[in-house]
Amino acid sequence: MKEVVINDLPVTVQLDTTTGDFIPCAEKVVRNVSDLARMFSDQETVRQIVSLGDKLVYVIRYYPFFTSKSDMALGTTAILPGKVGDEYHMTKGHFHARDDQPEIYYCVQGEGFLQMESRAGDYHAVPWQAGTITHIPPQYAHRVINTGRTTLVFVASFHVAAGHEYELIEARGFKNIIIEHGGKAVEVPNPRRSI
């Protein structure tokens, strides 16, 4: 994140629920297939997409509300519709670096799934649509998958101090993957977990 600006006054932003854009926005981050290369199962298709000039998967926008006593942040994520091979577009997915930090995710457009998996292996894939709100407890990795035909937009609320830890997800992913099969979204065991 950029330079920390402390502001003890209330801050209000206006969200465009169709794009995830809000004003004012402190920082925008784009993630392409190359940024998620190790997350997708079909590595051959990943190489092809990247060699043909890469492809946008999602856009994250942040606003950290730093006050002299708190660090609550707002994030929105807009996941474009699409697939890499049979696997739908999705976020990288992460644990929080701190083990006492939860998060709230609120889907405002689109449809898909929120995957959560604890370090102990408790796994959930929650169907998501506009209006679904999920509390992600501490120590659960979380990833959102867009299985629909429109951009999936969700709002996140978390503490900046929570931190992002990507290593374990990058190394082995979640218990299941979500792919298109016969025109439908289906969950199948993650091949990387059965080795």
Residues that bind ligand M6P (CB under 6 A): 60, 75, 77, 91-94, 103, 156, 158, 164
Query: Should residue 103 be labelled a site residue for Zn ion when binding is judged by CB under 5 A?
Result: yes
Distance of CA 60 to the CA centre of its chain: 9
By Cβ distance, which residue is nearest to ligand M6P?
A: 75
Residue pair 78/163 in contact by the 8 Å Cβ criterion: no
Residue pair 61/76 in contact by the 8 Å Cβ criterion: yes
Beta carbon nearer to ligand M6P, 8 or 167: 167
Query: Should residue 117 be labelled a site residue for Zn ion when binding is judged by CB under 5 A?
Result: no
Q: Nearest approach, Cβ of 164 to ligand M6P (angstroms)?
A: 5
Extract the tokens encoding 190: 């993650």
User: Residue 25, Cβ neighbours under 10 Å: how many?
Assistant: 15
Residue pair 165/95 in contact by the 8 Å Cβ criterion: yes
Q: Nearest approach, Cβ of 184 to ligand M6P (angstroms)?
A: 25
Residue in 125, 152, 120, 151 with CA at minimum distance from that of residue 136: 125
Given ligand M6P, Zn ion, none, residue 151, with its beta carbon under 5 to 8 Å by kind, binds: none
Extract the tokens encoding 57: 């998967």
Residue that the structure tokens 């709002």 belong to: 155
Given Zn ion, ligand M6P, none, residue 92, with its beta carbon under 5 to 8 Å by kind, binds: ligand M6P
Q: Which stretch binds Zn ion (CB under 5 A): 1-9, 19-27, 39-47, 102-110?
A: 102-110
Residue pair 142/93 in contact by the 8 Å Cβ criterion: yes
Given Zn ion, ligand M6P, none, residue 60, with its beta carbon under 5 to 8 Å by kind, binds: ligand M6P
Beta carbon nearer to Zn ion, 103 or 111: 103
Binding residues for Zn ion, rule: CB under 5 A, are 103
